[in-house]
A and B are shown apart, each in its own frame.
Chain A
Amino acid sequence: MKALMFGWEFPPHILGGLGTASYGLTRGMAQQEDMHITFVIPKPWGDEDQSFLRIIGANSVPIVWKDNNYDYVKQRMEGKMSPEEYYHLRDGIRYDYRRIGTDDLGCVGFSGRYPDNLIEEIGNYEAVASVLAHSLDFDIIHSHDWLTYPAGVFAKHISGKPLVIHVHATDFDRSRGNVNPTVYAIEKRGMDEADHIMCVSNLTRQTVIEKYGQDPRKVSTVHNAVEPLEHPEEFTKPERKDKLVTFLGRITMQKGPEYFVEAAARVLDKTDGVRFVMAGSGDKMAEMIDLVAKRGIADKFHFPGFMRGKQVQEMLAMSDVYIMPSVSEPFGISPLEAMQVGCPSIISHQSGCAEILQHAIKTDYWDIDAMADAIYAIVKYPAMYKSLHELGQDEVNHIRWYDAGLKVRRIYDGVINHTL
């Protein structure tokens, strides 16, 4: 089974959860012996782990035919691609893309981020897809998130191979309902053209069915999983006098930070010995600092700023509670990461991961009383902490990408054999 995947991010250089999920899923799928994955991203950095799949950078695929000799190509493509591969891909050029500004090799540059001219980059990515669809050999096309849907659709039209799309989020999650019509149009077209749609949670699946008018039979749920820690023992919880309750993520409307502050105020009203941390940055940060001051809890409420890499896990490991009061979260992998290092989690019902977690506390994002109650219980009743700590860790260790990969494989088989 050969899959051609279109993605936007791949570790180690990632901007959000999409990259983490892409990596985990492909790694889990690669454990199936006959699975060959070609993963296209706009701009590889060269330090991606390619041991289990092949990565093609869209910025090194020629889309305009340029006459270059072997030695020149070899010199220019050093470390990215062999001249043979370049020529092979160049043979796949069928359309005239001279309107797009390309370099001397006929390739187009990508930022690989989410720039202001994102729509233009998406279009260029689509052009790259046409070349790949003409030159590569594959059985199925798999597009990750809306940025890559147009590419997937074009590749499907050219090759006649089935297309599955993977919905990691919809614009409804990002905007609390105020969708951007351009984005919606791209999402809708991708879904309409897809042979099957995979969603990261039942919550997202429901959105896809209701808001995008998709046939429920065409939409499946494949929950995300979490990569096992290589050295879980290196994260320890130091003894400290105060209990630590942590919020970690972008401080934006979608993540519901204000509910965390209100819950903190309720807890602090009644209890001593608890401190609250809001790590991360975002457009709501100033507003949150204001709110904390207004509630008069600034001495117990801290903003350590943006954290990355290992800092995140260390922060989680030293916390007594991790809280994610997201207003709308398609999946939300961070509570799983918290549980991996033994930190009890409180999550909102409006998060997709709530569907697969038993040993986490679930409340509605707006129910600050319930949230405060749960925080109080975890810091005050030892059995509560112990159960969530032990059983939660155990539970998360059994949520594996390999199983998610098998589910995806069944969908591939079903789509190809028309049995789904």
Chain B
Amino acid sequence: MKNICFCFQMHAPYRLKRYRFFDIGQDHYYYDDMQTEEHIQWLVNTSYMPLCATLRDMIKLSKGKFHCAIAISGVTLEMFEQFAPEMIDILKELASTKCVEFLATPYSYSIASEYNEQEFKQQLALQSDLIKNVFGLKTSTVWNTELLYTDEMAYNLQKMGYKTVLSEGAKHILSWKSPNYVYQSAGSSKVKVLLRNTALSDELSFHFSDPGWANFPIDAEKYADQLKNLPEGEDLINIWCGAETFGVLQNAGTGIFDFLKALPYFILEREMGFVTPAEAAKKMTASDVLSSPTPLTWAGEAKDLSVYYGNDLQQEALNKLYAVAERVHMCQGKHLKMAWLRLQDINYLHYMNHIDQGHTQYESAYDAFINYMNILSDFLQLVEEQYPTTIENEELNELLKTIRNQEEEIQSLKQKIAKKK
């Protein structure tokens, strides 16, 4: 039986305010709250909210047979809490149906897995804790930023106890193979890899309302037929999109929400089912080994990280940022921790791309770089003030340990004295 696996991913970056070099050392608040609020509310109203409402209806209409998964970064959940609490309510409602799996994803929209293993681990834990606290659900499947996957990362995930990881069904990795199977990671025999069906997912994201597209107009019946007609044995079809496919890339006027709503009926009619990634990994056995020693993502044409660290500007920003990772881990300050997470958002790096700047609000890649680097300079100065670079990391660690253990030390010595008396 063929199973359809739907995943929707939600993330919006904090908007950084205009930050000039003469603000460095003077101003430690980096965000433009008004713009952030305006953007997230627009996103919620045009896309996230109608999408969640549609998913709720789909579950209801299919009597719980429709299953899907949602990936939300911790940063975005924070934003929902602050600026759009109605999103928390509807997500809770979805969580209570037991038909929706919440995926583990880095707390910030970061590529920490490439730079600092400990940071990656902490971010996954932080986000999972938040999901657990808010929705009462445990995460077990990992959707890394931009579906980033490497063999090494899979190995690290296994150490953290995760068994399923999602990535892109890119041609250069699969060649003649199909994305519609479960694979086993070359990095760890215990980790299963599910792959996005690029063609069928992109058909919704980019071609749904494109009159020049061969399948135009796409309707639920036709789409279900397409799924049904896939070769026998290809039993897991992963349709994963950014949530803004629904409402932004394809606006409500294209009928994308009605299409989605009608889909379960036609899928079930054709004797296919719905699964979440966790259910798929549990139900199905791996048919082959998948290996990608270098980053595999769903980004750009190249399906790697070149969009985010392809040029000198991006590399300098990333290197400067992650150079202080270990020091930040020792820090306790709340502001520092928060800034650290938010500044890792790779959207800021996207804006520094010379060719494709994504949804930038900057005039050019250089403009984006200047603003980010000024902020980063201030941030690095704050870290430096707490822990000067003149002290080695290890030495510092020892000192900190001593300081933190002081309490216990004093306590035990006091007890000793008491005994002696």
CB atoms of A384 and B22 under 8 A apart: no
CB-based nearest A residue for B376: A381
CB atoms of A386 and B374 under 8 A apart: no
Provide the residues of chain B in CB contact with A383, threshold 8 Å.
312-313, 315-317, 369
CB atoms of A377 and B373 under 8 A apart: yes
Provide the residues of chain A in CB contact with B315, threshold 8 Å.
383
Q: Which of A349-385 contact B (CB under 8 A)?
A: 358-359, 361-362, 369, 372-374, 376-377, 380-384
CB atoms of B20 and A373 under 8 A apart: yes
When each residue 255-291 of chain A gets 1 if its CB lies under 8 Å from chain B and 0 otherwise, what string results? Answer: 0000000000010011100000000000000000000
B311 interface hit (Cβ, 8 Å): yes
Where chain A touches its partner, the secondary structure class is helix
- Rounded to whole Å, the gap between the CB of B403 and the closest CB of chain A is 34
Provide the residues of chain B in CB contact with A387, threshold 8 Å.
311-313, 366
A167 interface hit (Cβ, 8 Å): no
A248 interface hit (Cβ, 8 Å): no
Provide the residues of chain A in CB contact with B367, threshold 8 Å.
361
CB atoms of A270 and B366 under 8 A apart: no
CB atoms of B370 and A362 under 8 A apart: no
Provide the residues of chain B in CB contact with A376, threshold 8 Å.
21
Provide the residues of chain B in CB contact with A380, threshold 8 Å.
21
Complexed CA–CA distance, A391 and B20 (Å): 24
CB atoms of A384 and B370 under 8 A apart: yes
- Number of A residues near B (Cβ < 8 Å) is 23
A194 interface hit (Cβ, 8 Å): no
Q: Which of B17-35 contact A (CB under 8 A)?
A: 20-22, 24
CB atoms of A384 and B366 under 8 A apart: yes
Provide the residues of chain A in CB contact with B22, threshold 8 Å.
266, 269-270, 372
A197 interface hit (Cβ, 8 Å): no
- Rounded to whole Å, the gap between the CB of B258 and the closest CB of chain A is 42
Q: Which of B178-230 contact A (CB under 8 A)?
A: none
A388 interface hit (Cβ, 8 Å): yes
Complexed CA–CA distance, A376 and B367 (Å): 12
- Rounded to whole Å, the gap between the CB of B32 and the closest CB of chain A is 16
Complexed CA–CA distance, A386 and B316 (Å): 11
CB atoms of B374 and A373 under 8 A apart: yes
Provide the residues of chain B in CB contact with A369, threshold 8 Å.
20
Complexed CA–CA distance, A386 and B314 (Å): 12
Provide the residues of chain A in CB contact with B364, threshold 8 Å.
358, 361-362
- Rounded to whole Å, the gap between the CB of A187 and the closest CB of chain B is 33
CB atoms of B369 and A384 under 8 A apart: yes
CB atoms of B366 and A361 under 8 A apart: yes
B363 interface hit (Cβ, 8 Å): yes
On B, residues with C-beta under 8 Å from A are 20-22, 24, 311-313, 315-317, 354, 363-364, 366-367, 369-370, 373-374
On A, residues with C-beta under 8 Å from B are 266, 269-271, 358-359, 361-362, 369, 372-374, 376-377, 380-384, 386-388, 391
Mind listing 16 A-B residue pairs with CB under 8 Å?
A266-B22, A270-B22, A358-B364, A362-B364, A369-B20, A373-B20, A373-B370, A374-B366, A377-B370, A377-B373, A381-B369, A384-B366, A387-B311, A387-B312, A387-B313, A391-B354
